[in-house]
Amino acid sequence: MTSNSRPEHLARTLRGEPVTLLEAISEALFEEMERDPSVFLMGEDIAVYGGAFKVTRGFLDHFGAERVIDTPISEAGFTGAAAGAAHMGLRPVVEMQFMDFISPAYDVITNYLATSRYRGSGSVPVVVRGPVGGGNRGGPFHSQNVEMAFFHTPGLKIVYPATAYDAKGLMKSAIRDDDPVIFEEHKSLYRAPHLREVLPAEDYTVPLGKARCAREGTQVTIVTYGAMVHTSLEAAAALEKDDGVAVEVLDLRTLLPLDDEAVAGSVKKTGRLLIVHEDTRTGGIAGEIAMRVNEQAFEWLDAPILRVTAIDSPVPYAGGLEDYFLPRVSDIVTACRYLVEY
C-alpha cells in the first residue's frame, strides 16, 4: 500500500537543492526506512498529521500505517513497546512530540532500554528523537534540553547535531547503531535559513562519538553543541574582529560517549577551555568535561575551566525572561576575554 515515488518535499537533496536541518532529518528517516524494512516510526500525531513539526509529513502515504504509527499519549508505553519490537529484530524510531515529554518514559529508558544488553537480554536498537531547546516562548514544558536526564545512564548514547549535514549523517548512524540512542533536535535550528545546505546525494553517515572542529583557533577552546555552536561561532567571530583573539570552537555532536580525544587535544593546543551549553548550569555536561580535562590535560591548563550556561531555573515563558535565562553571545565574549587575560 506504499507508493514508490519519493514525495517531492523529501527529494530536495536528490534535486541538488539545499535543505534545512529539519528536512535533513526527514530525509534521513525516509532513506533509512527505504533502505531497511525493519525501521519503523511511532509517536503522537506523526502519521496522519505528519508530526507537530511535520518531520514525518508524507511518510504515512509512502510507508503505510504499519510503519508510521500514531500512538496514544503514552511515552512510557510506546518507548517500552519499541524495546519489545527491537528484541524481535525491528529498529523503531520513536518521536517525542517535544522532548520534554520524555520524562514519563524515564523509567523504561534508564532501567530497561539502557540495561538490556548488560543484563544479557541483547541489544535494543531504539532511537528516541524529538525537538528540544528554548528561545521559542514555549515555557517550562516545551523548551527543555534533556541530555542531563540521560547522560548519567550507562548504556545510552546521546546525539545533538548542530548542522543539517550532521543531523542527516548522525541520524543514519543512530538508526543503524545497535544501542539505544537519544537524539535531540533543536527547534530553533529546524528551519533556520542560514543552516540550509546542499547535502551529498549519495548515502553518507557521520560516526557517533566524534566531535567536529567548527572553527580553528589557538588561544581559547570553546566546547559546545546544538544551537550554542552557532552562538559560540558568533562570539568567536566577534572576538577575532574586536580583539584579534583566535578562538577554536568544538562541536561535540555526540554527548555520550564524549569525544575525550578531541577535547583534550584542543585544550592541549590552547590551554584555555570554555564550555558553553544551553542547558541549565548545575549538573550540566560542563562538569563531566571539566573533570575529564582535569584527568587528561591538567598540566596544559593555563586558566581555570569556565562555563557559560542557562540560569538554574525552569525555562520561563515571557520573552524577556527567556532571553535573560538563555546564554548570550556577549556572555561568551566576556568569558573568553576573561580567559585570555587570565
Partner 1 sequence: MAGRDDAVDLYRALALHRAAATRLKSLRDQGRVPAAIRCGRGYEAVSTGAARALRAASDGSGDAVAPTPDNAGAFFVFGGTPLQFFRQHLACGSAPGRGREPGMCPIDVERGLVGPAALPGTMVEVMAGVTLAFRLRGEDRVGLVFSGEDETSTSAWHEGTNFAAARRCPLIVVVQAGTETSTGVHTRARGFAQKAAGYGVASASVDGGDVLAVHRAVEEAAARARSGQGATLVEARGCPVSRRALRAAGADRERHPYEHPPDPAARFRVRLIEERIARASDLDEVERRARAAVRSACEQALGESPPADEYALGGVYDGDPGTPPWYRLEPPERGLALASTT
Cell numbers representing residue 280 in the block: 541549565
The dihedral built from the CA positions of residue 35, 36, 42 and 48, taken in this order, carries a sign that is positive
User: Closest separation between CB of residue 86 and its own copies, Å?
Assistant: 18
User: Closest separation between CB of residue 15 and partner 1, Å?
Assistant: 28
Letters for 123-142 (x = contact with its own copies by CB under 8 A, - = none) are -----------------xx-
Q: Where are the beta strands (DSSP E) in 147-200?
A: 157-159, 181-186
The distance of Cα 308 from the centroid of its chain, to the nearest Å, equals: 18
Q: Counting every residue, how long is the chain?
A: 342
User: Closest separation between CB of residue 119 and ligand TPP, Å?
Assistant: 15
Residue 287 touches which of partner 1, its own copies, ligand TPP, none (Cβ within 5-8 Å per kind)? its own copies
For ligand TPP, give the closer residue by CB, 68 or 329.
68
Provide the residue type at 294 as one letter.
N
User: Closest separation between CB of residue 199 and partner 1, Å?
Assistant: 27
Using the rule CB under 8 A, is 192 a contact of its own copies? Answer: no
> Which residues pair with residue 185 across a beta bridge?
131
302, 218 contact by CB (below 8 A): no
Using the rule CB under 8 A, is 252 a contact of its own copies? Answer: no
Using the rule CB under 6 A, is 101 a contact of ligand TPP? Answer: yes
62 is catalytic: no
94, 78 contact by CB (below 8 A): yes
Using the rule CB under 6 A, is 44 a contact of ligand TPP? Answer: yes
Among 7, 77, 104, 139, binds ligand TPP (CB under 6 A): 104
Among 304, 319, 323, 324, binds its own copies (CB under 8 A): 304
CA distance 120 to 143: 36
Residue 204 touches which of partner 1, ligand TPP, its own copies, none (Cβ within 5-8 Å per kind)? none
CA distance 253 to 167: 9
Closest to 178 measured CA to CA, from 113, 130, 119, 129: 113
Using the rule CB under 6 A, is 79 a contact of ligand TPP? Answer: no
- Tell me the CA distances in angstroms from 172 to 13, 26, 178, one per residue in order: 15, 11, 12
CA distance 150 to 255: 10
Residue 66 touches which of partner 1, ligand TPP, its own copies, none (Cβ within 5-8 Å per kind)? partner 1
Q: Which of 142, 186, 230, 277 is catalytic?
A: 142
Q: Where are the beta strands (DSSP E) in 206-342?
A: 212-215, 220-224, 247-251, 254-256, 273-280, 306-310
Letters for 146-185 (x = contact with its own copies by CB under 8 A, - = none) are --xx-xxxxx------------------------------
For its own copies, give the closer residue by CB, 38 or 103.
103
Catalytic residues: 142
Positions that interact with ligand TPP (CB under 6 A): 44, 73, 75, 97, 101, 104
